[in-house]
Chains A and B, each alone.
Chain A
Amino acid sequence: MGRRGVEPPPLARQVPKTCVYAISPPAQHTYFSIWYHKDMLILLFLISLLWPADISAQSTTDLYQRYLQSAGEYRTSYNLYTTSKNQHSQYKTGATQIEAVNNTNNVLVRRNKLYADYLRYLRSKLADVTNIADYAQTVVYLDLESEISHLDGLSSLGTGNNFAEINSASETWEKRLPASEKLAYATQLQIAATSIAKLQTRVEIKLADFQTQTATPSANQQITLTQINGLLNDVTILRNTTLNNIKNYKNSPFSAEVLFKNLDLARDQLAESAVLLDGLIRTK
């Protein structure tokens, strides 16, 4: 071995010849092996990290549009259901029976979808207005989630083969409705009470501004200020009464009609306080 040109490279010189095949040669990764696509998989994983979580979330307006669309679909299927039901009552043939079964199955599905879409819109509106800032709002929000999941999971609805099966499925669905409606009213009242609270805050900020700028109000101004504070206090009481009534809405009965009237009154008193404050600011 006198010639330098044929000498093995330095690394190979250190490894004994017997060990050359102790380490298996690199596997031949074909296009069909996962490892072949590792770069792409890593890239997809990184993209998934950057992908916004709410990319599929729909806006409240979109949900409202979907709800209106479902209402239209329900109305159409309801008309078909009543027509086929009447036809079957009149003629009682096999054809009218099949038609009645199909159309009733269809209306049950549409009714369920309409109600689920309504609750989805209601949930989105609740989140928009309240930001789910307190315990009671969170409870209502989670109850809405649970109710929507339940309705979405009713895959057997609309698969009845005969009148008895259909009636049974419909009855089961309808039995749940009163509790669900109670939840919907509680949500509506939460939204309304929070909206009034936001308007009240705007009035209170203006009132605080006025009081800061008028260190020593006149006797007349003081009387008006007392009136305004009294009205704002009433608004708070009316709002809190409403919220207290729906706090435990599942177990305690409440009249949505009465509570909405409370909030109407709160709105009127708030408007009155704002008008009085506007008068004070103008005559300053």
Chain B
Amino acid sequence: MIKIPRMVLLSIPAVIFLLLLAILIAQAPKKTPIATEVETTAVNSIIASPTPRGLTEMESLINDIRSFAPRDPSLTLPNIDKEITLPEE
């Protein structure tokens, strides 16, 4: 019978654990640092704002309502052929 060193066998659980940990870390959602998010939001609000003072809450709300499309284009049914056939042989 092949003899496997005891140390190698004992290290198997640790290796599996580290592997799973690595998978978990890789799967974790990549979050933008808060500071960058705040900066981005601030820059965007300046760009989108019609006035230097920025939008008021009500103006922002009105924009959100007006820009809302009940028929979301991304949700439209896919354009598929509903009659895929071959001619009679």
* A residues adjacent to B (C-beta < 8 A): 30-31, 39-40, 43-44, 47, 51-52, 55, 59, 64, 67, 71, 74, 78, 81, 85, 88-89, 97, 100-101, 104, 107-108, 111, 114-115, 118, 121-122, 125, 162-164, 166-167, 170-171, 174, 177, 181, 184, 187-188, 191-192, 195-196, 199, 202-203, 206, 260, 263-264, 266-267, 270-271, 274-275, 277-278, 281
Contact = CB atoms under 8 A, between A and B. Distances in A.
A19 B66 CA distance: 90
Interface string B14-44: 0011001000100101000000000000000
A127 to B, nearest CB: 13
Closest 6 CB pairs of A and B: A263-B70, A192-B70, A278-B58, A163-B86, A40-B13, A271-B65
Interface of B: 1, 4, 9, 12-13, 16-17, 20, 24, 27, 29, 56-59, 61-62, 64-66, 68, 70-72, 74-75, 77-89
Contact of A85 (B62, B86, B89): B86
Contacts of A162: 89
A202 B80 contact: no
Contact of A191 (B59, B72, B78, B80): B72
A195 B78 CA distance: 22
Given A260-B71, A278-B59, 14 more contacts: A31-B4, A40-B16, A43-B17, A85-B86, A101-B86, A163-B86, A166-B85, A192-B71, A196-B68, A199-B61, A203-B65, A271-B66, A274-B58, A281-B58
25 contacts: A31-B4, A31-B9, A40-B13, A64-B74, A67-B78, A97-B89, A100-B86, A114-B80, A122-B75, A163-B88, A166-B86, A170-B83, A170-B84, A191-B75, A192-B70, A195-B70, A196-B68, A199-B61, A202-B64, A260-B71, A267-B66, A271-B65, A274-B65, A278-B58, A278-B59
Nearest to B23: A55
Nearest to B64: A199
A44 B71 contact: no
B80 A206 contact: no
Contacts, number: 122
A103 B19 CA distance: 42
B51 to A, nearest CB: 14
A198 to B, nearest CB: 10
A264 B61 CA distance: 17
Contacts of B56: 278
B9 to A, nearest CB: 7
A22 B68 CA distance: 82
Contact of A114 (B68, B78, B85): B78
A206 B85 contact: no
Contacts of B77: 118, 181, 184
